[in-house]
Amino acid sequence: MTTARATFPPVVYVPTVEPVGDDEPRLAMHRTDDGRVALFAYSALDRLVEFYRADSPWVLMTVADLQHAYDAVPYDLLFLDKRPAPAVEAS
């Protein structure tokens, strides 16, 4: 039996929230029903449009960028190519 291990893409599209004033865009973090903080990432722009929101601003990030983001503002979950549940709140 062979077990194929999924690989994480070299870059992902991550939704952001609109900047306020001169601030830089912030990653769109979501709080789950159980209180954890989730970050959604998409392996292709069409997946972000289909699964997240067609009009969402975004930023292209590498794995190293995701680590820097985590170091600055830790998140509990990283979802790849998933649709946020209706109960998941953006912040």
Residue 4 has pLDDT above 70, yes or no: no
Closest CA to 39 of 14, 18, 64, 57: 14
pLDDT band, very low/low/confident/very high, at 24 (cuts 50, 70, 90): confident
Instruction: Give the end-to-end CA distance of the chain in Å, rounded to a whole number.
Output: 43
Does the global pTM surpass 0.85?
no
**Cα–chain center distance at 65:** 12
Mean pLDDT throughout 73-80?
A: 96
* b/e per residue 17-47 (b: at least 16 CB within 10 A): eeeeeeeeeebbbbeeeeeeebbbbbeeeeb
pLDDT for 5 beyond 90: no
